[in-house]
Amino acid sequence: MSIATLTSIAGFEKSAQEKLLDYVWSYYSRPAGTGQTYQDNMDAFRRYRLIPRNLRDVSIRDTSVTVLGSKLDIPVAIAPTAIHRFAHPDAELATAKGAAAMNAGMVLGSWSIHSLEEVAAATPGGIHWFYMLFYNDRGHMKRQLDRTERAGYSAIFLTIDQPFFPNPSARAAPRSYPFTMR
């Protein structure tokens, strides 16, 4: 199935399930925790409707938007997520290159396989944002902020909670994965 033929979230999900290994699909498709936030988000998303603007000149279109001082060509940003290597051998480098090719935003997660410096170096001119967790060691946080600034990241996303992992009872999944993180 060509990506050009995919026109819905359901289509993307079906294509992903067909292409990914079972344990990878299981990881990506399971909601975190009880799944309540996932369900609430899906319910809210279903309420949106695209309304065609008939009898309008659409010969010149502009989907760009400015977010946090960065101009995106499309109003899309990739949220901070983990284990990109499940989707591509180059992990976050591939995700960042895809985002940069579309001039879309990408928020690099704190637990990425590749360092924030490697990701920035792989996508010169890309939009670099970083997601930072709160740590008890404030010195560690300061060093991480200094690194993001030196690497050219233009925004920091902070969380006030801790990440939740997919609920293992939602679907069976192995306890270990075939790679290591550095």
170 or 92: whose pLDDT is higher? 92
Domain endpoint, select from 18, 37, 54: 54
- Among 30, 119, 40, CA closest to 78: 119
Domain endpoint, select from 54, 73, 96: 54
Residues 46 and 68 grouped into a single domain: no
| 19: DSSP letter | H
43 or 164: whose pLDDT is higher? 43
Residues 138 and 176 grouped into a single domain: yes
How many structural domains comprise the chain? 2
30/23 Cα distance (integer angstroms): 11
Alpha helices in the chain (DSSP H): 9-19, 22-29, 36-46, 92-101, 116-122, 138-151
Residues 80 and 5 grouped into a single domain: no
- Among 83, 82, 65, CA closest to 74: 65
21/110 Cα distance (integer angstroms): 25
User: pLDDT confidence of 171, banded at 50, 70, 90?
Assistant: very low
Residues 19 and 91 grouped into a single domain: no
pLDDT, average across residues 88-110: 94
111/169 Cα distance (integer angstroms): 23
Mean pLDDT over each residue of the chain, to the nearest integer: 86
Q: Are strands 70-72 and 77-78 parallel, antiparallel or unpaired?
A: unpaired
**151 pLDDT more than 80:** yes
Residues 1 and 87 grouped into a single domain: no
180 contacts 172 by C-beta, under 8 angstroms: no
Would the pTM count as exceeding 0.75?
yes
Residues 179 and 122 grouped into a single domain: yes
Position 27 scores a pLDDT of 86
pLDDT, average across residues 94-108: 95
180 or 93: whose pLDDT is higher? 93
Residues 44 and 71 grouped into a single domain: no
Residues 90 and 35 grouped into a single domain: no
Residues 70 and 48 grouped into a single domain: no
Position 50 scores a pLDDT of 80
7/154 Cα distance (integer angstroms): 32
Percent of the chain predicted with pLDDT > 70: 87
Position 134 scores a pLDDT of 82
> Residue 11's domain spans which residues?
1-54
pLDDT in tens, 40-87: 998 998 898 888 888 888 888 898 999 999 999 999 899 998 889 988
Domain endpoint, select from 12, 27, 54: 54
> What distance, in Å, lies between the first and last C-alpha atoms of the chain?
34
pLDDT, average across residues 134-158: 92
13/34 Cα distance (integer angstroms): 21
What values do phi and psi take at 52, rounded to 5?
-65, 145
Residues 76 and 158 grouped into a single domain: yes
pLDDT in tens, 109-132: 988 999 999 999 999 999 999 999
Position 3 scores a pLDDT of 75
Residues 107 and 66 grouped into a single domain: yes
- Say which range, 17-31, 47-61, 84-98, 158-172, has the weakest mean pLDDT: 158-172
- Which residue is associated with the tokens 């009880």? 34
